[in-house]
Amino acid sequence: MNLLKLPGRRTLAALTAVLAAAGLVACDSPLPSSAPEPSPASRATTSTATVPAGLEEFYSQDADWYPCADAGMDKVDGDANYSCAYVTAPLDYDDPDGQTIELAMKRRAATGDAIGTLFINPGGPGGSGVELVESAKGYFSDDLIASYDVVGFDPRGVGNSTAIDCLTDAELDEDRSGSEIAQATADADGADGDDAAAAQKEIAEYVQWYEGKCEANTAAGLLDHVDTVSAARDLDMLRAVVGEEVLTYLGYSYGTYLGATYAELFPGNVGRMVLDGAIEPTLSAGEMTLGQAAGFESALRTYVADCQSGDKCPLHGDVDAGVAQIQDFLEVTKGAPIPTSDPDRPLTYSLAESAILGIMYQSESWSVLSEGLDQAMNQDDGSLLLLIADLFASREDDGSYSGNGDEAINAINCLDYPVSGDADSWEVEREQIQEASPTFGADLGYSDLYCQAWGHESTRERAAIHATGAAPILVIGTTGDPATPYAWSQSLAEQLDDGHLVTWEATDTPPTDAPASA
């Protein structure tokens, strides 16, 4: 009923986090004792790029960098030097004299003489750049982090910025474990006529309840202003505030849409820009979900084949049999959740599915998934799968949530994707999605129904992005990518007036009988 979360490519940094949480490796990071001195590039004079009329006050403000511990953003990687800052942005760019919000940035100072500032976004929508920059050493080469101050920022509505807040930690636990919407979707499976209508009504009522919780706990007006166009305008303001003439930017997954939108709005301010794992700007919400559903089913089959090629795989027979075993396992958890080390949090269907889907992003983590499936299927212990699901939801050991990605994603998507179709077409679409992904598709339909019930109307047109006049933009596409199919990167590179595609041929390819990806 919503687009899959796109958390960005999880490299070895995320794998290490999974293993560390499982007690298989140890990691410890010292905290900086003070904020670093600004690097040469950060001492640049204020940008002379054109300032949009009426926004002079925002563009000319200073980024007052200070020790991250003072802002509660004190996680670091190794001996890196970090500093943090909050800057002010208008809630509504059409009313710059009205309500304002705060945007959070975290800077990893260059280890050498900085030649500029690299802004990064991990995707989602709802992913935290403040968190991503903490893993910069695992993502980037020594040469890059010596040459650039790397700045992670939390887009409006996300994380440490003025954020969307809907549920308490306890309510999030309950919702993730299996909300009413999951049951309503299950009721819609195979239903006809009045039964399908009743299932849609149940979903709409759940969404309206959830929106009410968000409205009650979020800053007034924010839910109507977390669209990507507004976030791109924030990004241009941040560029100016740190003193850069042009934007140097790297975005993953949803971050490619943010970057491309920026290039469309501010082509003359584009410097070096890399968009990795592209979102196709012209697709509707339903088309996006269909492509993702096919991609994740294909990735699952690739995982099963890889698992069965080893000697510690809990899945037997051929690929079809292995996929069927995972489907059967998930079906069992609907009625009989698997016990975990936390007696109050058994592994439910929703949590198990979240763990499996999350690991599909990263083949390096597949051995962890195999271990988790073996524990759950053969030892009646869902602890490792629960831990994996919690990792992707940013749930800490103490039960708190360090991020709000699960709350922000739908609010942002529903402002970016206009509602299309009607109740009948949504049923046809749901059936197509389930056909594309027999394992996961039943839970991925009803994107437009969700946004219709959400009630915060999108005014964004889904249209090609050309970024006419921008500097060359590098688009990276990976074959076999489950969440952002390779064809989307091809399409974006073709749309951009000066787009250039680099293809990463994945070593893990789906078996020949796998469903075709969109």
| Beta-strand relationship, 247-252 and 148-154 | unpaired
Could you check whether the bond before residue 67 is cis, i.e. omega within 30 degrees of 0?
Answer: no
Structure token pair of residue 48: 């002379």
The angle that helices 405-416 and 169-178 make with each other, rounded to 10 degrees, is 70
pLDDT at site 514: 37
Q: What pLDDT sits at residue 21?
A: 39
Place of tokens 């850069």: 244
Q: Please name every residue paired with 476 in a beta bridge, in sequence order, or none if there are none.
A: 276, 502
Other Cβ atoms closer than 10 A to 332: 15
**What is the C-alpha to C-alpha distance for residues 90 and 170, in angstroms, rounded to an integer?**
32
**pLDDT of the residue at 15:** 39
The pLDDT score that the predictor gives to residue 362 is 84
pLDDT at 22: 39
User: Running DSSP on this structure, what letter comes out for residue 221?
Assistant: T
Determine the Cα–Cα distance for residues 200 and 187; give it in Å rounded to an integer. 9
Low-confidence ranges of the chain (pLDDT < 70): 1-48, 70-79, 179-194, 507-518
The rounded distance, in Å, linking the Cα atoms of 144 and 397 is 33
pLDDT at 27: 30
Could you tell me which CATH number the domain at 12-163+223-283+462-504 has? 3.40.50.1820
